[in-house]
Amino acid sequence: SLTKVFVLQTRIAGAKVPSRRTIGNFPEMSLETAREIAKAWNELIDCGLDPQLEKERIEREEKLKKRRTFKSAMEDYLVWMPSREFNRHVPDDTATLKREFLDPARNPWLDGPVADVTREMVEKIVNAIRDRSEAQAYNALNLVRGFFTWAYNRHRVEYGLSANPVATLTHKAMGLKRRVRSRFLDVYEMRAYMMAAAAM
């Protein structure tokens, strides 16, 4: 059977020859819906806009908007991480970022625009991590600073960042200190460890 199609035929942008623009298929689209779309398209044409091109522009913007969420940008970063110059800690770093910043229970702005993230928002999450472990908070701040530096890079303008929100959020500013080991194994302890490891 032939497919029935709703079509708007009109002159666009002062063209001498009428153009055809497909609105939708029947019965997937009702007559009432087709009429509403045709009315909206005629209003666009009156403003000198091509409804088909305007529809494509809106679809591109919607796709771009989805790519510009914090979650989407962070997922892109996790894919990129194995290709960075120093990548020995990628598995651990990936696990930390997923746990601390991609968990909806810990990050309420996960699905918001990455360009809207502020220093205070990141600081709040890092402080929550500090309540559990200062060492984990120190590491998490390191990692999220690395992410924003990457996202702000001029080659990644698609994320819409006009500034790096954590550029001034340093470990010193948050009072975070790296835990330095205060005791090292002596020769005999090292020997006992190596013997145990060999036995196992």
pLDDT at 10 over 90: no
Confidence of residue 48 (pLDDT cuts 50, 70, 90): confident
Higher pLDDT, 61 or 6: 6
Mean pLDDT over all residues of the chain? 86
Query: pTM of this prediction?
Result: 0.61
pLDDT at position 112: 92
Kindly tell me the burial class for residue 103, based on how many C-beta atoms sit within 10 Å of its own C-beta (0-12, 13-18, 19 or more): exposed
E strands of the chain, at which residues?
4-10, 19-26
Residue 11 phi, psi (nearest 5): -85, 130
| pLDDT at residue 8 greater than cutoff 90 | no
Rounded Cα gap, residues 149 and 8, in angstroms: 48
What local confidence, expressed as pLDDT, does residue 51 receive? 79
Burial class (CB in 10 A: 0-12, 13-18, 19+), 135: middle
**Residue 116 DSSP code:** G
pLDDT over 70 for what percent of the chain? 90
3-class DSSP assignment, residue 131: coil
CA gap 110, 98 in Å, rounded = 11
Distance (Å, rounded) from C-alpha 197 to C-alpha 119? 46
